[in-house]
Structure 1
Amino acid sequence: MSKIIELVEQLTTPILNDMNLELVDVEFVKEGSNWFLRIYIDKENGVDIEECGQVSERLSEKLDELDPIQQNYFLEVSSPGAERPLKKEKDFQKAVGKNVFVKTYEPIDGKKEIEGVLTSYDGVSLEIAVTIKTRKKTMTIPTEKVAKARLAVSFS
């Protein structure tokens, strides 16, 4: 599975570089009886459906040429949305000052799910300002303890 993702990243990167777009994530997942190859792309002010379509067409041609995936699958190219995943170092750096949601592998201060404002990231740990009832607190989360992280939409 990771070989497929790696290959798709290699095939996608030159297409995106050519179009001044960024690769956010690649997923190859089975949902029900169907397989999905999902490519999430972005740029400074967001991507539109036309750009997603162009990337899909160009990538589809490359995948048809090489035929690296044995299963039948659906190719989806889209924006990561408002709650984009944070996976790479630069994702975390760009998210400083924004609301984030983090799931950890083990509890930190008794919690495995933390939501708040990412106040800093140094490559080793995240500092998140959280509000518990009316009290504000800063939590430090070591990067290796982060299972998943994403931007979080705040309605306050």
Structure 2
Amino acid sequence: MSTTQSERLRELLEPLVKSQGLDLEEIVVESVGRKRVLRVVVDSDTGADLDQIADVSRALSAKLDESDAMGQGAYDLEVGTPGAERLLEEHRHFARAVDRLVRFQLAEDGELVARILTVDDEGLDLEVPGVKGRKATTRRLLFPEITRARVQVEFNRKDKKDMTEEEEA
């Protein structure tokens, strides 16, 4: 049975990433011009700070140097966290996105943009923003109804503290 290079790399690197208290989210090997680049994406429930990224990067580099998983050619190792508009694919991704605005592609109802309120084993409770002065509504969405979900960047969102202070004024 043949395994891809990404699968072999995942088997080699995932235990090391887990030992650093992080989840291995993605491994991508790309050719960029004449160079190869190994991109490793890590995350955790509390996020990953620069010190954690540096520590896991050094550990991964040492592990790769002692193995032949990348072959003999030169490559660059890039370790980072998921981007701001990350795709949500696993249960833990949805749980980490609680209180975030997400664009959902639905199996039957088209598209929906809503804020994740809670996550359980079956699905999500959402707050759907009101349109044209209407109040926000809540909606239950089950995981099988979701074909794709991506976190949305919000530039002007007021946090709960700001909204409470305004309501009191």
TM-score by length of 2: 0.63
Bigger-Rg structure (1/2)? 2
* Deviation (angstroms), 1:32: 6.1
Query: 1:90 corresponds to which letter in structure 2?
Result: R
Unaligned runs of 5+ in 2: 158-169
Partner in structure 2 of residue 26 of structure 1? 26
Partner in structure 2 of residue 75 of structure 1? 77
Which structure has the highest strand share of the two?
1
Q: Is contact 2:40–2:80 with CA below 8 Å preserved after alignment? A: yes
Query: 1:67 corresponds to which letter in structure 2?
Result: D
Q: Is contact 1:102–1:146 with CA below 8 Å preserved after alignment? A: no
Partner in structure 1 of residue 88 of structure 2? 86
RMSD: 3.3
Partner in structure 2 of residue 126 of structure 1? 124
Q: Is contact 1:103–1:146 with CA below 8 Å preserved after alignment? A: yes
* Deviation (angstroms), 1:77: 0.6
Partner in structure 2 of residue 149 of structure 1? 149
Q: Is contact 2:48–2:81 with CA below 8 Å preserved after alignment? A: yes
Write the deviation string for residues 25-72 of structure 1: whole angstroms up to 9, x where unpaired.
113154765654322223465433343233222212322333234686
* Deviation (angstroms), 1:92: 1.9
* Deviation (angstroms), 1:80: 2.4
* Range 48-57 or range 27-36, more displaced: 27-36
2:129 aligned counterpart, secondary structure: strand
Partner in structure 1 of residue 137 of structure 2? 137
Percent sequence identity is 27
Q: Is contact 1:100–1:149 with CA below 8 Å preserved after alignment? A: no
Q: Is contact 2:100–2:151 with CA below 8 Å preserved after alignment? A: yes
Q: 1:30 to 1:102 in 2, by over 3 A?
A: farther
